[in-house]
Chain A
Amino acid sequence: MDKLYDVIIIGSGPAGLTAAIYTTRANLKTLIIAGTVWGGQLMLTSTVENYPGFPDGIEGPDLMMAMRKQAERHGAEVVELNFQEGDFSKKPFEIRVDNQTFQGKSVIIATGADTKWLGVAGEKELIGKGISSCATCDAAFFRGKNVIVAGGGDTAMEDAIFLTKFATSVTVVHRRDSLRASHVMQERARANQKIQFIFDTVVLQINGTDKVTGVKLKNLKTNEEKEMDIDGVFVAIGHVPNTMVFKGVELDEHGYIAVYDRTRTNVPGVFVAGDVHDKHYQQAVTAAGFGCMAALDLEKWLAESDSVAEQKT
């Protein structure tokens, strides 16, 4: 089996799949290392209302399935395996996945970002026992219960609103004195009578043995600590970029992949797209845009490096 690809795309969120749509349409042999859990963060969301083209919104998973279908229709190959490591010192580049090695003339890193957990005592032990990062998956288990949502951005608002379908009360705990969420999401959350807010406050500890029974909160302004009985904790404080496995690829001071000249990394032929390098926007539509940019830059780079190779021979 010929395992040399023009481009290997690592990641299968909006950035990776959009890149694949462009590379395949440019007639480049394209492989997507999708991961065993493919589709990225949108697989954990409910309705996406800000992706253009869907006036009534679209379910996150439906959007991802459509993008994947579109990439595959143009000839992208998808493997649902987890990326292990990349050797970017050799040409072609070697990407190891389980027991297989794939070779690519170029690579797009589009591995996105994962849930940032609170990192407090009790959290690790109680994930799945009352602590969750996926409100759409787990809200139904909190029918008639009281929960908190940690965070103050759009995801936190979305989670809080979704949770009110089931929970008796939802308390948003946010470390700052005002929310980061977009105006429309804030309004919607504030208008919901089941949602309360606690500002300037962080979760210090999560209590419970078999399941979550409470949290310890700390007010950052007064330093006051208090216990609160609670049945569930939904974590929506942001994301961390998935960068740890790319040896030789430079990161910036915040731990994201360092970008040179639009979509290039420090390694020629290795490009980057989406939340793994973008700490500013982190939207589905910007990730898709970055995917397109990386694909176009890569196409040009391949054409140039091929013509250099031809001149040498």
Chain B
Amino acid sequence: MSDLVFTDQDFEAEVLQSRTVVVVDFWAPWCAPCRIVSPVIEELAKEYKGKVKVGKLNVDDNPNTAAKFGIMSIPSILIFKNGAPVKTLVGARGREEYKKEIEEILGS
């Protein structure tokens, strides 16, 4: 898979220090709704390539980042701008809803 995977180790550099807006899908393999969101995230990653960083973070393997941002429900999609989360979307949503939120933040 060519999609972007974030970890506890690279989260600071890849997300918090990123110059672009970053979309992070907090997920785990045992979460069924996460499996529905995953392909949508992959599509968005392609669509926004070069404009917005879109990737996934496995909360099982990266508990520190999940805890740091208070993730208690997955899937949770967090959108980061200038090193801080500016939007949190809890639960599986549709592609259009994610796009709308991304566009809003890009335009702000």
Physical interaction between A and B: yes
* CB proximity to B under 8 Å, residues A63-118: 81-82, 98
Q: Please tell me if the beta carbons of B32 and A43 are within 8 angstroms of each other in the complex.
A: yes
A39 cross-chain contacts in B, Cβ below 8 A: 32, 36
Instruction: Let me know if A193 is at the binding interface, CB within 8 A.
Output: no
Distance in angstroms from B45 CB to nearest chain A CB is 17
User: What's the interface size class on B, roughly?
Assistant: 20 to 34
Q: Please tell me if the beta carbons of A211 and B72 are within 8 angstroms of each other in the complex.
A: yes
CB contact between B70 and one of A82, A129, A132 (< 8 Å): that residue: A129
Distance in angstroms from A155 CB to nearest chain B CB is 15
Instruction: Let me know if B86 is at the binding interface, CB within 8 A.
Output: no
* CB proximity to A under 8 Å, residues B47-76: 59-60, 66, 70-76
CB contact between A82 and one of B28, B31, B94 (< 8 Å): that residue: B94
* CB proximity to B under 8 Å, residues A138-157: 138, 140-142
CB contact between A127 and one of B28, B59, B90 (< 8 Å): that residue: B90
Instruction: Let me know if A256 is at the binding interface, CB within 8 A.
Output: no
Q: Please tell me if the beta carbons of B32 and A141 are within 8 angstroms of each other in the complex.
A: no
Distance in angstroms from A41 CB to nearest chain B CB is 11
Q: Which residue of A has the minimal Cβ distance to B36?
A: A37
A128 in contact with B94 given A37-B36, A43-B36, A61-B35 (CB within 8 Å): no
Interface of B toward A, CB cutoff 8 Å: 28, 30-36, 40, 59-60, 66, 70-76, 88, 90-97
Q: Can you list 13 pairs linking A and B with CB atoms under 8 Å apart?
A: A36-B36, A36-B40, A37-B92, A60-B32, A98-B96, A128-B91, A129-B70, A136-B31, A136-B32, A137-B75, A140-B30, A141-B72, A232-B72
